[in-house]
Amino acid sequence: MHFSTLLTSTLLLAGTALGRRTYFKRQQQSMMVHVVQAGGANGELTFSPNEIKANPGDLVQFQFWPKNHSVAQSNFANPCIPLQQSVQNTTSAFYSGFMPTTEQGKLVYTIPVTDTKPIWFYCSQGKHCQGGMVGAVNPPATGNTLAAFVEKAKAAPQNVSPGQASGGSTGQAGGAGSTGQSPSGTTNNPTQAGGPLQSTGAASTVDAPSRGFLGLALAGIGAFFLL
Ligand SMILES: *[C@@H]1O[C@H](CO)[C@@H](O)[C@H](O)[C@H]1NC(C)=O
Ligand SMILES: *[C@@H]1O[C@H](CO)[C@@H](O)[C@H](O)[C@H]1NC(C)=O
Ligand SMILES: [Cu+2]
């Protein structure tokens, strides 16, 4: 109830601010939505851009191209293994689930950036991780660089989806079109505080201007929860 009251206030505030360009300008400067294309028009096995420089409070939104990519969090040491399998007791690693789509822009998955530490990620489909479909938010410029991560990924013995047993090829990778899941024990609802925000379909029909607005709306929600 407290939550919904706050949410209502936020929406009212956002509504009021609609007519106040200065408010939005300020929001835009202090918080950014970094859009990353997952895949591409010609079946590229890439995240583009694959290196994102973001500040705490920013959001990174993955927009999925056909056919069936995913984005999962890993770490530098194990590029193609879910973070929660590499590091014991990890509860906050993100995973979009598989995003089967025939049309770009329909399926998006958004993660919050909460600090300045590197966030490593990969696509868990087939051998996409080995094929170069990896990326990072705020990778170091020296040492554990994105280039080194790409090289490590190339040599990875397997590409594992969260929830899939490593070492075997029979693991279930979640149903087709499975919705994003947050492994976090405290934020089961992906739209809640700090957890990954996901919207499917919402962006399907938006044109460029309203896509901008969607970004701002997301940023507003993110700002509210991250305060
Ligand atoms: C993981 O959690 C279990 C149960 O709380 C604990 O016994 C174990 O020491 C933890 N492991 C690490 C590496 O923190
Ligand atoms: C997407 O890929 C996953 C993993 O390979 C697979 O289990 C799922 O069936 C695929 N979905 C579609 C609609 O092709
Ligand atoms: Cu992929």
Tens of pLDDT, residue by residue over 22-65, are 445 545 567 999 999 999 999 999 999 999 999 999 999 999 99
State mean pLDDT over 136-153.
98
pLDDT for 2 equals 53
CA angle 123, 51, 129 (to 5 degrees): 20
Whole-prediction pTM value?
0.68
Q: How far is CA 107 from CA 3, 20, 65, 124, 199, in A?
A: 27, 30, 8, 16, 7
pLDDT: which is higher, 67 or 225: 67
pLDDT for 139 equals 98
- CA–CA distance, 120 with 114 (Å, rounded to integer): 14
- If you measure from the C-alpha of residue 89 to the centroid of ligand 1, how many angstroms do you get, rounded to a whole number? 6
The values of phi and psi at residue 63, to 5°, are: -110, 120
pLDDT for 164 equals 85
pLDDT for 29 equals 60
DSSP 52-79: E---TT-EEEEEEPSSEE--EEE-SS-T
pLDDT band per the 50, 70, 90 thresholds, residue 167: low
State mean pLDDT over 174-195.
35
Tell the residue number behind the tokens 């990620």, with chain if given.
121
pLDDT for 15 equals 45
Q: Which residues pair with 37 in a beta bridge?
A: 48, 63
Mean pLDDT of the chain: 75
Inter-residue contact 155 to 162 (CB < 8 Å): no
> Ligand 1 in contact with 185 (CB < 6 A)?
no
Least distant ligand from the CA of 86: 1
Tens of pLDDT, residue by residue over 90-132, are 988 999 999 999 998 899 999 999 999 999 999 999 999 999 9
- If you measure from the C-alpha of residue 107 to the centroid of ligand 2, how many angstroms do you get, rounded to a whole number? 15
Inter-residue contact 84 to 183 (CB < 8 Å): yes
Tell me which residue has its CA closest to atom 10 in ligand 1. 89
Tell me which residue has its CA closest to atom 2 in ligand 1. 89
Residue 72 scores a pLDDT above 60: yes
pLDDT band per the 50, 70, 90 thresholds, residue 194: very low
> Ligand 1 in contact with 170 (CB < 6 A)?
no
State mean pLDDT over 159-168.
82
Residue 156 scores a pLDDT above 60: yes
User: What fold characterizes domain 32-205?
Assistant: Immunoglobulin-like (2.60.40)
pLDDT for 192 equals 33
Least distant ligand from the CA of 88: 1
Least distant ligand from the CA of 121: 3
Residue 169 scores a pLDDT above 60: no
- If you measure from the C-alpha of residue 90 to the centroid of ligand 1, how many angstroms do you get, rounded to a whole number? 10
pLDDT for 18 equals 45
> How many C-beta atoms surround the C-beta of residue 178 within 10 A?
17
